[in-house]
Amino acid sequence: MTNRNYLVSEGKRKFVARFAPKTAKLLHLNRKQEIYNYRVAASLGIGSKAVAHYPKHHLLVVEYLEGRMLHWREVRSPGFIR
């Protein structure tokens, strides 16, 4: 909700370009912490990888992960987490 996100394709690979707002500091957003969180999630196999950071342009590029919207009934199912 605080970034402008764009889907970018390079051949078969897809990325998300995430532009932080100029008000990022007012919102207490911390891009370095966000990049760290991406790296940890990727190392655990549960998230996408941060592939580039351009602080001058307030831009972070991350791998795009295919997914789908979950329905609330799925999430409430006892076997969902497994």
Residues of the chain above pLDDT 90, percent: 51
Tokens of 26: 């007012």
Mean pLDDT over 58-65 rounds to 94
Nearest to 20 by CA among 10, 38, 32: 32
pLDDT reported for residue 47:
92
Please check the confidence at residue 82 and state whether its pLDDT lies above 90. Answer: no
Q: What's the CA dihedral at 77, 65, 19, 4 to 10 degrees? A: -50
- The pLDDT tens digits of the residues spanning 13-46 come to 999 999 987 766 666 678 888 899 999 999 999 8
